Amino acid sequence: MTQALAERPSDKIAAPVVTTDQLDLIRRTIAKDATPDELRLYLYDCERQGVHPLDKLIHFTKRAGKYTPVTSIDFMRIRAAETGEMAGSDDAVFEETINGVINSATVTVYRLTQGQRFAYTGTARWSEYKPEQNDFMWRKMPHTMLAKCAEAVALRKGFPRQLAGLYAKEELDQADNQPAALVVTPLPSPAVPSGESREKPSEPNGGELGQSIPPGFALIAEVRPGKASAKGELVMQSGESFLFFKEQLKQIAIDACQLQIPVQLTIKKSASGNRYVDGIAKLPQPITDAELDLEAARQETARPAGEVL
């Protein structure tokens, strides 16, 4: 491993040397999905914390397509204690409803600075951290899991140099949630009575009606659930697929897919080089009966029960 870019602080221990053979092993095993830049970041995080990557004290993980270092709450406590300035912590304080449902957990840790004891408090809310899936431990030990999240927040506040960029596994459990089932495909073509022929519309839409698609536009074949924090995934008729992370793009994509309206996508690249949809523009065309039916159905669903027009 190359030498650290900056002078190592006095409260750091020397980073173990990573040999060429070990680096190759890291690439093939614990960081096999890493891009070259992500691998350098991971090695730097390990070096900054004075640990060897193969000790697995800091794990290489990806969240929403981006590298995120993950560790345990015990490792964060160790790093804080090694400064010689850790001055204790309070037990978690929980806010609960009258029915005993947990709303939040708050933990305070203390650090000595120039002889004075300062408090650093972190609060974790159940709604923000409890995962919807793979939540066995959260249901079995809810107080323990939420308290770890709150303590991790407090420790990062109190020891930012030592813990900056590090997250306890429990803090990121919710990031692994998969969105609710969402598979949208084009609406079936309306039936044409025997003996009648369907007239082609004056405006192109490129779908079932066989009109040409203007340059720069394409058809969405499916709208699928997104991965990690993505709001959804577009599968184009060409076979290409793109994630999108903006909630406001979901309904645009669904409508365009169902009605087979050609769209023009604005594609951007993330820091890790992954492409995603940042904007969707539908090809302008007259309002169809199908669009009116969709809007009427949405309004009917949104209307409070018992409301009479």
Distance CA 43, CA 33 (A): 14
Q: What angle do CA 154, 68, 22 make, to 5 degrees?
A: 115
Q: Which of 252, 250, 277 is nearest to 262 (CA)?
A: 252
For the stretch 7-16, contacts whose Cβ atoms lie closer than 8 Å and that sit 24 or more positions apart, written own/partner, are 9/161, 11/82, 11/83, 11/84, 11/161, 11/162, 12/48, 12/50, 13/50, 13/82, 14/50, 15/46, 15/47, 15/48, 15/49, 15/50, 15/51, 15/52, 16/50, 16/51, 16/52, 16/55
Contact assessment for residue 153 and residue 122, using Cβ atoms and an 8 Å cutoff: yes
Q: Which residues contact 256 (CB under 8 A, 6 or more apart)?
A: 220, 262, 263, 280, 282
Could you tell me the pTM of the whole model?
A: 0.54
| pLDDT tens-digit series, residues 107-133 | 999 999 999 999 999 999 998 899 877
pLDDT score for 195: 52
* pLDDT < 50 positions in the chain: 1-10, 179, 192, 197-210, 305-309
Joined tokens for residue 247? 């909630």
Tokens of 75: 């490792």
Residue 117: both structure tokens together: 């004891």
pLDDT score, position 302: 54
pLDDT tens per residue, range 11-58: 556 678 899 999 999 999 999 889 999 999 999 999 888 899 999 899
Q: What is the CA radius of gyration of the chain?
A: 26
Instruction: Write down the domain spans for the chain.
Output: 1-70, 72-159, 220-299
Give the chain's end-to-end CA distance (angstroms, integer). 71
Residue where the block lists tokens 């405006």: 203
Fold of 72-159: Double Stranded RNA Binding Domain (3.30.160)
Closest CA to 171 of 134, 125, 121: 125
pLDDT of residue 208: 44
Residues 6+ apart with CB under 8 A from 188: none
Give me the pLDDT at residue 5, please.
34
φ, ψ of residue 152 in degrees (nearest 5): -60, -40
Is there a contact between 143 and 105 (Cβ–Cβ < 8 Å)? yes
